[in-house]
Amino acid sequence: MLNNKRQGKLAAVAVMAATALAITSCGSSEPSKPAADGGSASAAAEPVTITVHTFGGGENFGYDEAVKKWNAEHPNIQVKYQNLTDRFEDVYLPQLLQKLQAGSGTADIVGIDEGAMGLMKARPQFFADLGQYGLESRKADFPAAKWENGLNKDGKLFALGTDIGGMTMCYRKDLFEKAGLPGDREEVGKLWPDWNAFMEVGKKFQAANPGKGDPKFLDGPNTLYNVVLSQEGPKNGNIAYFDTNNQLVIDKNPAVKTAFDTVKSFSEAGLTAKLASFTPEWNAAIKKGGFATMGCPAWMLGVVSGAAGDENKGKWDVAAVPGGAGNWGGSYLAVPAQSKHPKEAAEVLNYLTGKEGHVLAFQEAAAFPSSLPAQQDPAVADLKNEFFNDAPTGQIFGASVKDLLPLFLGEKHAQVKTAAEKVLEGMDKGSIPYGEAWTKFVEAGTKAAG
């Protein structure tokens, strides 16, 4: 961030210069990169440090324990793990792209959200071919769709899956009971078989909390929108904003319209706290009980427990989601071609996306494994989440990801998603009238795709 208005121009010019130099320099250095440098002999002689960068709120990827274990067992390959930011599309992704383009600065292993996988697939030159290090053998460990999303446009394996979203509804048990609603997760799940029923529960909840400072039923537009989109997408050709030919269909895909209309109806009914997700205000409201429900893919549990803090243990709980199964999010790990130790990085990546890494991450951050052996492991299947009132999250998410088909996401999915959700936020907050919101929504998405 520029820290001086007067120097703004100068700094901007300097940044441009740096970028420009980076752009020119990368053209020449690219071809020589893929060759692994440092043979296995020299690698064994002195310890190699492998850096891992991820993103995400709260407990994010949950690799603290897994990394500790690896480092204790592998004195020759030490892993340094760092979570860079809680914002993916507008902080992590641009920085990653700039570093990839510059040819230096990325970690040896980088986390990538599913939303940007289309973008990365189209840029095979930036990533190491994991097949070269024998990771093709992992194919049987993953659901077909998760595996195929890790292949680039040339058909080479460049990324392996970490977690998978699944879908549930997080709710504040204490606020529900205060509003005269049931608190038990089985009963809560039965309250809302579909979104209409969810709306009725919401109205009841809001009627019991009419005051200005009282909690709202929902957090805001983003989580609800993504949940509904992930449920409707599979019913409409398994796509979101782009069809499988990478043509924008934001205005034609009924799944998008349904998700939009659902958000609109909840917003119009005054059930949202008008908070955009992954903002400081949103985090504060999770902690202070500013709202009672939000859509929760598995990884969101780690975000909630991280934001709410230990003092709120037991206040949040997890119930079935209205409207059935869906997948929102889930990530991948890849090794950039610029890594100096691609072989060792591939080994670490293999471990983190292997059964053990998956299980440890699930225990730490509730990120549900995409790895099939890990899903069947009793440590996952029988795990209860202490923070969420000992909810049997292994069982709940295991059921929700069965037969799951992750959506096809186009190359510019991340950009379109950001732009379109911005309009939802504006509509919810009142700066865009409800009547004009759909047109604005399509316009913003179309512009971001262009």
Partner 1 sequence: MTLNVDTPAPARPEGPRRASGHRSSGRGGNGLARFDLRATPYFLVSPYFLLFAVFGLFPLVYTAWVSLHDWELAGDKTFLGLDNYAELIADEAFWNAVVNTLGIFVISTIPQLVLALMLANALNKRIRGRLFFRLGILLPLVTSVVAVAVVFTQLYGRDYGMINWFLGLFGVEAIEWQNQSWTAWIAISTMIDWRWTGYNAIILLAAMQTIPKDLYEAASLDGASPRRQFWQITVPMLRPTLVFVVFVSTIGGLTLFAEPVMFEGNPTMAGGATGQYQTVAMFIVKEAFRDFDMGYASAAAWMLFALILVGILINYSFTRRIGGKK
Interface contacts to partner 1, rule CB under 8 A: 1-6, 8-10, 12-14, 16-17, 20, 87, 89-91, 94, 97-98, 100-101, 122-123, 126, 276, 278-281, 415, 418-419, 422-423, 425-427, 429-432, 440, 447-448
Comparing C-alpha atoms, which of 333, 331, 332, 328 is closest to residue 400? 328
Read off the DSSP letter of residue 274.
Answer: -
Q: Which residues of 365-376 are buried (b: 16+ CB within 10 A; e: fewer)?
A: bbbbbbbebbbe
Pairing outcome for strands 48-55 and 109-113 = parallel
Q: Bridge partners of 333? A: 111, 160
Min dist. Cβ of residue 74 to partner 1 (A): 32
**Dist. CA 125–CA 131, nearest whole Å:** 15
- 439 φ/ψ sector (left φ>0, alpha ψ -120 to 50, else beta): alpha
Min dist. Cβ of residue 219 to partner 1 (A): 15
Min dist. Cβ of residue 378 to partner 1 (A): 41
Question: In this structure, are residues 335 and 152 in contact, taking their beta carbons and an 8 Å threshold?
Answer: no
Give me 89's structure tokens.
Answer: 């599309």
Min dist. Cβ of residue 19 to partner 1 (A): 8
**Dist. CA 269–CA 203, nearest whole Å:** 8
Give me 342's structure tokens.
Answer: 């691609």
Helix orientation angle between 254-268 and 434-449, rounded to the nearest 10 degrees: 140
Q: Which is nearer to partner 1, 94 or 193 (CB)?
A: 94
Read off the DSSP letter of residue 320.
Answer: P
Q: Which is nearer to partner 1, 46 or 212 (CB)?
A: 212
Min dist. Cβ of residue 17 to partner 1 (A): 4
Comparing C-alpha atoms, which of 275, 278, 224, 219 is closest to residue 87? 278
Q: Which is nearer to partner 1, 142 or 441 (CB)?
A: 441
Q: Which is nearer to partner 1, 389 or 418 (CB)?
A: 418
Q: Which residue has the tokens 């492998």?
A: 50
Min dist. Cβ of residue 279 to partner 1 (A): 5
Q: Which is nearer to partner 1, 254 or 433 (CB)?
A: 433
Q: Which is nearer to partner 1, 3 or 137 (CB)?
A: 3
Q: First CA to last CA across the chain, in angstroms?
A: 27
Q: Which is nearer to partner 1, 236 or 279 (CB)?
A: 279
Q: Which is nearer to partner 1, 3 or 28 (CB)?
A: 3
User: What share of residues in the chain are helix, strand, coil (percent, to 5)?
Assistant: 50, 15, 35
Min dist. Cβ of residue 106 to partner 1 (A): 11
Q: Which is nearer to partner 1, 32 or 431 (CB)?
A: 431
Question: In this structure, are residues 391 and 385 in contact, taking their beta carbons and an 8 Å threshold?
Answer: yes
Question: In this structure, are residues 157 and 130 in contact, taking their beta carbons and an 8 Å threshold?
Answer: yes
Min dist. Cβ of residue 412 to partner 1 (A): 8
Q: Which is nearer to partner 1, 258 or 415 (CB)?
A: 415
Min dist. Cβ of residue 109 to partner 1 (A): 18
**Dist. CA 172–CA 182, nearest whole Å:** 11
- CA trace torsion 368, 412, 81, 284 (10° rounding): -70
Min dist. Cβ of residue 179 to partner 1 (A): 21
Backbone φ and ψ of 429, nearest 5°: -85, -15
